[in-house]
Amino acid sequence: MIEAEWWEYDSVDEMADAVAGDVGFIVDSAIDARDSSLIALPGGSTPKPIMPKLAAAKLPWRKVTIIPTDERLVPMSDELSNVRALAQIFLPTGARVLPIASEKLEPEAAGNSADALLRDLPWPPDLVWLGMGEDGHTASIFPGPDLQAALDAPKARRVIGVRPDPLPSEAPVPRVTLTRAAILAARTILITIRGQKKRDILEQAIADGQSSKLPIGRVLAEAEQAIDIHWAP
């Protein structure tokens, strides 16, 4: 049974304030406990209004390392790059934003390279913040040929390369993604979604648990920690 707590807001701006406050608290608590913090942040449209509010928080950012939950295999100068978007917002704070992927590699090799890079980081992450697409994908764990590899990767495996089939129209490129094991290793898992359609999809995926056909349901079904879900219309 997936233990999920829903936080509902009347507006995107209200959700942005709340989520920025929650993530700031997670980071601050981690630094108090371990003198550093590692967080995995998502791409996509829902987090966009939240990120600047988080970056404006008065935190010891120089002790924070940020990785993307997934990255497209494009140059960092490309607008499709998740790391590019994160770097633009968080590098001015003094945080370390870690590129994890090279567009010059095929997905499998890119996944191996990113996995090796993350093995040098203090693990587990204090936070993995997820979104969800209308097809039920989360991070870059999509329905399709690479789904089982992302779900079944051993606990020591943090990243794999994937080539979604079909490629998403908004970003038709291969990617690297955190595995289910890496996501579930996090001290805290947080999800942000918008709109009634996505809420209905996520509620059904949670209800279906292990029998869900959607990546988000299959990922969360193995979670031992409670999941915080933030939703706005």
Residues 6+ apart with CB under 8 A from 48: none
Dist CA 62 CA 24 (whole Å): 14
Say which CATH number the domain at 210 has: 3.40.50.1360
State yes or no: cis peptide before 166, omega within 30 of 0.
Answer: yes
Dist CA 195 CA 202 (whole Å): 11
The total number of structural domains that make up the chain: 1
Are residues 77 and 46 in contact, defined by beta-carbon separation less than 8 angstroms? no
pLDDT by position in tens, the chain (length 233): 789 999 999 999 999 999 999 999 999 999 999 999 999 999 989 999 999 999 999 999 999 999 999 999 999 999 999 999 999 999 999 999 999 998 888 999 999 999 999 999 999 999 999 999 999 999 999 999 999 999 999 999 999 999 999 999 889 999 999 999 999 999 999 999 999 999 999 999 999 999 999 999 999 999 999 999 999 99
Dist CA 176 CA 184 (whole Å): 17
Nearest to 156, CA basis, from 177, 182, 175: 182
In the structure encoding, which two tokens stand for residue 84, read together?
A: 């590019």
Interstrand relation of 159-162 and 175-178 (parallel, antiparallel or unpaired): antiparallel
Q: What is the pTM of this model?
A: 0.96
Are residues 189 and 227 in contact, defined by beta-carbon separation less than 8 angstroms? yes
State yes or no: cis peptide before 174, omega within 30 of 0.
Answer: no
Domain that holds residue 222: 4-232
